[in-house]
Structure 1
């Protein structure tokens, strides 16, 4: 039997292209979770469903796992059931020696690509931090500063912009708008 597994990383993505390629399979397990997550119930259900002589069919190797270690663990689980892995877009069939070799090589390349992407993201974050970009939730503004924001905005003699008020208080311009709106709603 051909048992298929289709996965995309988010709820916003769809599986249509994969499902089209997998339509000839006997049963299809579908999942919308990141490949980096180890707890993927549908993948484990697909592997549990496998019987001796079956084949787990996927469209691409990265649909199965993001690291070489995880790939090998999953293939070991598949082979322990007496089944094989068949990767359609990469001509991998672990029932053959050449398929096993291709599996290992492509898995290593996929992990390398993931690591390169992670390095680029980290470099980008470091560059942004060096430029003063702040990440995370804005700091909480104390009550005395909240009152000061309202006073400065309401002061008709002051020609301060919202950005200048934000600079004085040490918060963002958006926080000035939000705090002013919230404080006026309370009053």
Structure 2
């Protein structure tokens, strides 16, 4: 069975053209949704992946309708492959896991995605090490002068007065005062 998946990012968009193209390509069942591709929790995609059985083929019109990163794409295609389900992209004939060449292309894409992830992690670790060497730790720089808050409290100011004087939230004032204890 050929299964189609169509997605648009927002409610104002229309996926009629995608659905028509999927049906024209032989899709017998089409799952469709209006949801951001950045959202990994897409119920209709999950239903399509669950519905697919060995020997089926999942088709989409464009790659960005399915995944927003090479790693996410690889994850989906790996799941389909484990189930014995093929995958095709109508706008890119080279992305077709039902052929030897298509499987090769996906293998290359997967290797590139893995390489990119490793590079990104390496750069991140270098940045963290550099920051630690410079005495910086994670998180935002402090914007609250805790010593000033404590001094105002010692001078007899109430918390509401400190909040009004400094413009700092009640929670931040209480946090500063707790750290003194």
Q: TM-score range by the shorter chain?
A: 0.5 to 0.7
Q: What's the CA shift for 1:85?
A: 0.5
- 2:114 match: secondary structure: helix
Q: What residue in structure 1 maps to residue 79 of structure 2? A: 74
2:47 is matched with: 45
From 109, 127, 137, the equivalent of 2:112 is: 109
How far apart in 2 are the matches of 1:123 and 1:29? 42
**What is the TM-score when the length of structure 2 is the normalising length?**
0.54
Counterpart in the other structure of 2:26? none
Please tell me whether residue 25 in structure 1 is matched to residue 22 in structure 2.
Answer: yes
Deviations 1:81-127 (A, max 9, x none): xx411134572111111111111111111121122122222222322
Change (3 A) 1:116 1:84: same
Which residues in structure 2 correspond to 1:1-187 (within 5 Å)? 1-4=2-5, 6=7, 14=9, 22-23=18-19, 24-26=21-23, 27-30=30-33, 32=36, 41-50=43-52, 52-57=55-60, 59=63, 63=68, 66=71, 70=75, 73-79=78-84, 83-87=85-89, 88-89=91-92, 91-136=94-139, 146-150=149-153, 178=168, 182=173
- Using the TM superposition, give the Cα deviation of residue 177 of structure 1 relative to its aligned residue in structure 2, in angstroms: 5.5
Q: Structure 1 runs of 4+ off > 6 angstroms?
A: none
**C-alpha root-mean-square deviation of aligned residues, in Å?**
4.5
Instruction: Give unpaired runs (5+ residues) of structure 2.
Output: 24-29, 158-165, 175-181
With normalisation by structure 1, the TM-score equals 0.52
Aligned to 1:11: none
Structure 2 Cα separation of the partners of residues 65 and 43 of structure 1:
17
1:4·1:56 contact (CA, 8 Å) conserved in 2? yes
| Partner Cα separation in structure 2 for residue 47 and residue 29 of structure 1 | 12
Unpaired runs of 5+ residues, structure 1, are 8-13, 155-175
1: CA distance, partners of 2:48 / 2:111: 24
Counterpart contact for 2:37–2:68, Cα < 8 Å: no
Q: Number of aligned pairs? A: 147
Q: Relative to 1, partners in 2 of residues 1:68 and 1:115: Cα closer, same or farther, differing over 3 Å? A: farther
For the 8 Å contact 1:68–1:111, the answer to whether it is kept is no
